[in-house]
Amino acid sequence: MTLINPISYWRLKDRYFNLLGTKCTKCGAEWFPPARVCRKCGCQDLVDHEMPHTGRLLAHTVLKEPSEEFRSSAPYVVGLIELDNGQRLLAQVVDVDPTGLQDDTRVRLTIRKLAEDTKRGTIFYGYKFTPLP
């Protein structure tokens, strides 16, 4: 697995610890991941905008044989999440029994460990989702 340089990671930490996208100042459209140009109206004036922390699970799969970097975490769930503003993203779903998870489950953002660079002693954190009670 190629890990991001720790300096770059630190500079971009707001994007990892918050679900940060962009919002068009002209038409109000929201984009995740962040866009430089609004795909709705073509405006280039977009500002950082925090995405909703809740949404629903549209579809999911259980990874039982992931790539080598993630084998210690297997099996784990990856889901297609639709945020409450309509934006969609792929993310790991945690704190759930993979056999009992159902599509259309309400979920919320949580920050968790993504990876560890043992050579540099750096732990990388980012977003995952957990089912709402």
Over residues 66-114, the pLDDT tens digits come to 887 777 788 899 999 999 999 999 999 999 998 889 999 999 999 888 8
First vs last C-alpha separation in the chain: 33
Taking 90 as the threshold, does the pLDDT of residue 41 lie above it?
Answer: yes
Mean pLDDT of 14-35: 88
Predicted model pTM: 0.80
Collect all residues with Cβ–Cβ distance below 8 Å to 117 and sequence separation of at least 6.
3, 6, 123, 124
* pLDDT value of residue 17: 66
pLDDT bin (cut points 50, 70, 90) of residue 40 is very high
